[in-house]
Amino acid sequence: MTASKIRAPIPRVALELAEAAAALGMSPSSFDRYVRPHVRLIRKGSLVLVPLAELERWAAENAEHVMDGVAVGVAQRTGADWETDGSNSGSAKASPTPPCPSPGNSGPTWLA
């Protein structure tokens, strides 16, 4: 095979709406509801394209760190939450656990 017959794939810079939805792992209707209002589109006649940069921007802005500040199963503590007990063993005791939410107590703000 000669070099003139070998063709490298052309990188895409924009996707059709259905492709953009698939790239984010969602249905076209979810894409229309949650993403489309927040990204810039390329419109030429009936063709509507979503630039890859817009998809990446939207994904970065809507990503969250699920575990940040939320204790799951076992209480998470940072260095500021621990105080030493004054012994030479270096053991530490945890600061008091916040109260559980109840009708009169909404609990920590991260539960809201």
Give the pTM.
0.53
The answer to the question of residue 23 being in a domain is: yes
The answer to the question of residue 83 being in a domain is: no
The answer to the question of residue 40 being in a domain is: yes
The answer to the question of residue 2 being in a domain is: no
Give the model's pLDDT for residue 65: 72
The answer to the question of residue 7 being in a domain is: no
Q: Three-state SS string across 75-105, please?
A: CCCCHHHEEECCCCCCCEEECCCCCCCECCE
Count of the separate structural domains present in the chain:
1
Domain that residue 38 falls in: 12-62
Give the model's pLDDT for residue 84: 47
The answer to the question of residue 3 being in a domain is: no
Between these two residues, 5 and 55, which has the higher pLDDT value? 55
Give the model's pLDDT for residue 1: 54
Between these two residues, 63 and 96, which has the higher pLDDT value? 63
pLDDT at position 21 over 90: yes
The answer to the question of residue 20 being in a domain is: yes
Q: With cut-offs at 50, 70 and 90, classify the pLDDT of residue 98.
A: low
pLDDT at position 57 over 60: yes
The answer to the question of residue 57 being in a domain is: yes
Between these two residues, 85 and 3, which has the higher pLDDT value? 3
